[in-house]
Chains A and B, each alone.
Chain A
């Protein structure tokens, strides 16, 4: 089953994520992907994550298709104008890439080339609209394509938005993304399940599959770092304490992730596990969560 079929089948989805690194060395990433290959429905490939210059998402997504993994090609509006974005999508299609995740992208100031010219010609919403147009056989300017793609497009939503305005705006924008063609949503990492449940109650009427984000906690320090620096991620104190107190961080990390996955099973249509290099642990997390 490819990702689209899994999505349409209504089964509980599992996606993971790989972030290409700086340079041409892809061996270990391919190894990580191979470990999780049979346990996931798709693997996201990030697009210069955190605005740090890295190997591109399209090339690595293509390598995954060669391995028989269905990639979700992440595409941000940060670095390319509408010409390049459309062209890259056509290129991705001929390389066998079938799923796209449309994102606005972090600002270049967040990364390692902070004075690069930010592009943002299209944002996540207009990117989705454009994908819809390509799918229908036309480019953004209305010119007919010779051979059209048929992408499955998705988007992200941040359920942990920390102010009333931020949350309301997230939901308004989520609706715009659905209208623009988003067929699934992946979320920022969820730790506070009660808060996530509130969010789900607000948006369940939208009838769109939501895949809840799970980041494997590697240490208490990492949790504190995310609380401080990653918008929309909040690791509650008790979890941080569990990480501090444990003798076996890996075991604890798997335990926490598995318990989150278990609870998400009742709330949404899938989990998106961001292991950040700990891909080896994903099978154990899934086993413990009975998936």
Chain B
């Protein structure tokens, strides 16, 4: 899932400075699971905005709602249309894709981000997430015992570790295990150490922005 964090209040408040009617729009997808932008966080942020304005003696109306998945047009439309003309600005609590989906669907509507989208990751424990996939477009997890060196090795090395690890930790951080040593242990456990001896790989990096086309799913023109 996508992992995100709320922006500092100062930054959010500055963005909405000129507006009085604010739709705080959460998303019930990833950001609900990582407790950054679900209905609960919408309520928290709206309350903070109202309290800030009250201190400053300035008016504000906060509308609170959440889409099922803000990256899906079908799920944005009904929510925004239901409240059409009741707000001046949409303060999205979705990931960057969600914010952009709203902006694309409502090109005349200003949409602001209230989260910083960090990465695609997994929960280590409740409240701790780590990056797991860089969406490189050519998954090699089958050769690395389910541990991604592209993402979890700080240098995205494909042919084995650098010499920088110390006591099993990556040279960039004592909190981070060396991905290659983890791969080694996992392959050993699975009796697949020979996977490490494959011929050297060079990664062909994808061109951004990516685009996936599935002809079988596209609209058909009746002729």
Task: Give the chain A neighbours of B200 by CB distance below 8 A.
Answer: 125-126, 129, 176, 179-180
B87 within 8 A of A: no
Q: How many A-B residue pairs have CB under 8 A?
A: 97
Report B54 CB to chain A, min CB distance, Å: 38
Stretch at the interface among B13-21, B103-111, B162-170: B162-170
- Inter-chain contacts of B181 with A (CB < 8 A): 163, 165-166, 169
Contact (A231, B160) CB under 8 Å given A107-B155, A180-B200: no
Task: Provide the residues of chain A in CB contact with B184, threshold 8 Å.
Answer: 165, 168-169
Could you say which of A107, A126, A162, A173 contacts B161, with CB atoms under 8 Å apart? Answer: A173
- A106-B160 in contact (CB<8A): no
Picked from A122, A126, A166, A188, the residue with its CB within 8 Å of the CB of B165 is A166
- Chain B: interface size category: 20 to 34
Q: What residues of chain A have their CB less than 8 Å away from a CB belonging to chain B?
A: 77-78, 82, 104-107, 109-110, 118, 120-126, 129, 140, 156-158, 161-163, 165-166, 168-170, 172-173, 175-176, 179-180, 188, 231-232
* Extra pairs beyond A165-B180, A169-B161 (19, CB < 8 Å): A78-B155, A104-B155, A107-B154, A107-B155, A120-B157, A121-B205, A125-B159, A126-B200, A129-B202, A140-B202, A157-B163, A165-B185, A166-B178, A166-B181, A172-B160, A172-B196, A173-B159, A173-B160, A180-B200
B158/A107 in contact, CB under 8 A: no
B156 within 8 A of A: yes
Q: How far is the CB of B162 from chain A (nearest CB, A)?
A: 4
* B161 touching A231, Cβ below 8 Å: no
Q: Can you report 13 residue pairs joining A to B where beta carbons are below 8 Å apart?
A: A107-B164, A123-B155, A125-B200, A126-B159, A161-B163, A162-B167, A169-B196, A173-B159, A173-B160, A176-B159, A176-B160, A176-B200, A180-B200
Are A162 and B157 in contact (CB-based, < 8 A)? no
In the assembled complex, B83 has its CB within 8 A of some CB on chain A: no
Q: How far is the CA of A163 from the CA of B184 in the complex (A)?
A: 11
CA distance A126 to B172 in the complex (A): 22
Collect the chain B residues with CB atoms within 8 Å of residue A175's CB.
197
A125 CB contacts on chain B under 8 angstroms: 159-160, 200
Q: Which of A124, A165, A168 contacts B168 (CB 8 A)?
A: A165
Is there contact, CB below 8 Å, between B168 and A231?
A: no
Which residues on the A side are within 8 Å of B171 (C-beta)?
106-107, 110, 231
Establish whether residues A232 and B163, one from each chain, have CB atoms under 8 Å apart when the complex forms.
yes
A-contacting residues, B133-189, CB 8 Å? 154-168, 171-172, 178, 180-181, 184-185
Residue of B nearest to A110 (CB): B171
> Which listed residue (A106, A172, A232) contacts B197, Cβ 8 A?
A172
> Which residues of chain B are within 8 angstroms of A104 by Cβ–Cβ distance?
155, 157, 162-163
| Residues in B neighbouring A122, C-beta threshold 8 A | 202
Whether the pair B163, A120 counts as a contact (CB closer than 8 A) is no
Collect the chain A residues with CB atoms within 8 Å of residue B205's CB. 121
- Report Cα–Cα, A54/B31, bound state, in Å: 43
Chain B, residue nearest A77 (CB): B155
**Which partner residue on chain B sits nearest A231 by CB separation?**
B166
* Pairwise interchain contact A110-B197, C-beta atoms closer than 8 A: no
In the bound assembly, the distance between CA atoms of A106 and B178 in angstroms comes to: 14
A76 to B91, CA, bound (A): 44
Q: Is the CB of B172 within 8 A of A162?
A: no
Q: Are A169 and B164 in contact (CB under 8 A)?
A: no
Q: How far is the CA of A69 from the CA of B92 in the complex (A)?
A: 63
